[in-house]
């Protein structure tokens, strides 16, 4: 028995360190003529573009050991400027894991006594319990609606926050946690929810003329999967799509401008077998549509890049609605940017999504604007400089900083549409 346990723990330990062993992270800056050749690597097995931007901007890509030689000779042959950010990404992941284990010896994300600590990454169970306790304690401000049970049986909560009857004022809709590995985004939602509900001065200011409809963890299965060994870089949801393939990219699955896959299931940006095939997206679309009369702004919050992106993100098929309020999108994007710049000195870049990333079909921001009817829609990319492994000891400061931006947006919506 003892031998068996030692043997099992050896397998588990070996497994733990296998995940991204000797994977290298590259920063690559292709020019116009080099760009297409680099982009062609996107769907090759062993390639994970943390982000693929447009020409003359920094793209970051993780490459498996088996194709590193090919990739580097490709870069050299084409004179593409690059640097290596990590020689072994598994080491970075292990560092994060060890650091979080140390933190957990001293701190709990959300305790059974009801104490919330916004300086640690929460498990989904903590998020779940926190929201239900908060709703029980502040029923006059917050109501929860379970939009659906996820494919693995977790709540997908819509959090409705209002000083009166929800849905009668202009609404700001938002979601975080769509992409599993982008851990730094959901804490900013939970921090915002906490401020709106428990801080009397903030509630008086931000609930007087605005209601908030927040889905703080849209992809709980993917999130929990990314917290297990070897799966830290999981992006999709966890629905079994074929007997051999799990997960679609929830930010390619929305109906507006959706395109059938040119890539196989299993690819990072696989858009699902049909538009809104993924239950987490179907219900997010449905709840925003239900309140479309008052939906003035929609925010989809991701990492990384310090970007305020505004539609459109797709280029083909211009669609029924021209973006006739580009000026307002830029103006309001700058309100978010300026508020954070003044508070912390961090400088967000307000930019059109298509211009920055190139064509993206089936994304949530275009969908909320065109198909659902929000007046304004943004994708925020938080945290430049850390890829997806954003240090836990910085997340409280990030949430405080991002709250400054959310608050400025709340004021704008209240003053302009309230
Ligand atoms: Zn994302």
- CATH code assigned to 107-417: 3.40.630.10
Gap from CA of 148 to ligand 1 centroid (Å): 21
Gap from CA of 49 to ligand 1 centroid (Å): 12
CA distance 121 to 389: 11
| 3-state secondary structure at position 242 | strand
Alpha helices in 19-176 (DSSP H): 32-39, 68-77, 89-106, 124-137
Residue pLDDT, tens place only, 70-123 = 999 999 999 999 999 999 999 999 999 999 999 999 999 999 889 999 999 999
Gap from CA of 301 to ligand 1 centroid (Å): 7
Gap from CA of 270 to ligand 1 centroid (Å): 14
The residues annotated as belonging to the active site are 381
Residue pLDDT, tens place only, 187-240 = 999 999 999 999 999 999 999 999 999 999 999 999 999 999 999 999 999 999
Domain edges within the chain: 16-92, 107-417
| pLDDT tier at 319, thresholds 50, 70, 90 | low
Q: What is the pLDDT of residue 327?
A: 95
Other C-beta atoms closer than 10 Å to the C-beta of 96 total 18
Gap from CA of 215 to ligand 1 centroid (Å): 15
Gap from CA of 300 to ligand 1 centroid (Å): 9
CA distance 256 to 288: 14
Give the length of the chain.
418
- Phi, psi dihedrals of residue 152, rounded to the nearest 5°: -100, 10
Is the pLDDT assigned to residue 339 strictly greater than 70?
A: yes
Gap from CA of 216 to ligand 1 centroid (Å): 14
Gap from CA of 179 to ligand 1 centroid (Å): 5
Q: Which H helix or E strand runs over 414?
A: helix 395-417
Give one word for 266, left, alpha or beta, with left for phi > 0 and alpha for psi -120 to 50: left
Predicted structure pTM score: 0.94
| Contact of 107 with 120, CB cutoff 8 Å | yes
| 3-state secondary structure at position 388 | coil
Gap from CA of 39 to ligand 1 centroid (Å): 18
| pLDDT tier at 51, thresholds 50, 70, 90 | very high
16-92 architecture in CATH?
2-Layer Sandwich (3.30)
Give percent helix, percent strand, percent coil of the chain, each to the nearest 5: 40, 20, 40
Residue pLDDT, tens place only, 343-377 = 999 999 999 999 999 889 999 999 999 999 999 99
């Amino acid at each position: 028995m003892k031998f068996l346990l030692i043997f099992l723990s050896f397998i588990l330990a070996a497994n733990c360190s296998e995940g991204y062993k000797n994977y290298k992270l590259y920063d690559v800056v292709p020019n116009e003529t080099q760009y297409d050749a680099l982009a062609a690597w996107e769907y090759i097995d062993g390639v994970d573009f943390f982000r693929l931007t447009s020409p003359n901007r920094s793209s970051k890509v993780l490459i498996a050991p088996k194709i590193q030689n090919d990739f580097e000779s490709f870069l050299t042959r084409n004179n593409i400027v690059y640097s290596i950010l990590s020689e072994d990404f598994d080491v970075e992941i292990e560092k994060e894991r060890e650091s979080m284990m140390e933190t957990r010896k001293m701190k709990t994300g959300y305790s059974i006594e009801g104490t919330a600590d916004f300086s640690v990454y929460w498990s989904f169970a903590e998020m779940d319990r926190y929201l239900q306790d908060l709703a029980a304690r502040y029923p006059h401000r917050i109501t929860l609606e379970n939009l659906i049970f996820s494919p693995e049986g977790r709540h997908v909560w819509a959090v409705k926050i209002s000083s009166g009857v929800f849905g009668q004022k202009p609404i700001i809709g938002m979601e975080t946690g769509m992409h599993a590995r982008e851990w730094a985004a959901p804490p900013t939602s939970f921090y915002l929810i906490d401020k709106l509900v428990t801080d009397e001065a903030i509630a008086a200011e931000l609930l007087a003329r605005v209601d908030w409809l927040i889905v703080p963890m849209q992809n709980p299965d993917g999130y929990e999967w990314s917290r297990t060994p070897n799966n830290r870089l999981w992006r999709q949801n966890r629905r079994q799509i074929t007997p051999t393939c799990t997960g679609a990219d929830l930010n390619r699955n929305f109906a507006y401008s959706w395109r059938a896959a040119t890539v196989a299931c299993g690819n990072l940006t696989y858009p699902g077998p049909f538009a809104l095939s993924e239950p987490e997206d179907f219900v997010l679309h449905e709840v925003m549509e239900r309140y479309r009369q008052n939906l003035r702004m929609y925010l989809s919050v991701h990492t990384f890049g310090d970007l305020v992106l505004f539609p459109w993100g797709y280029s083909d098929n211009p669609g029924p609605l021209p973006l006739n309020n580009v000026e307002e999108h830029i103006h309001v994007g700058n309100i978010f940017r300026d508020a954070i710049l003044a508070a912390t000195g961090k400088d967000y870049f307000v930019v059109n999504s298509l211009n920055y990333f190139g064509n993206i079909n089936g994304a949530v921001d275009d969908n909320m604007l065109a198909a659902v009817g929000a007046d304004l829609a943004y994708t925020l990319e938080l945290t430049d400089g850390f890829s997806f492994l954003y240090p836990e000891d910085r997340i409280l400061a990030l949430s405080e900083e991002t709250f400054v931006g959310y608050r400025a947006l709340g004021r704008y919506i209240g003053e302009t549409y309230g």
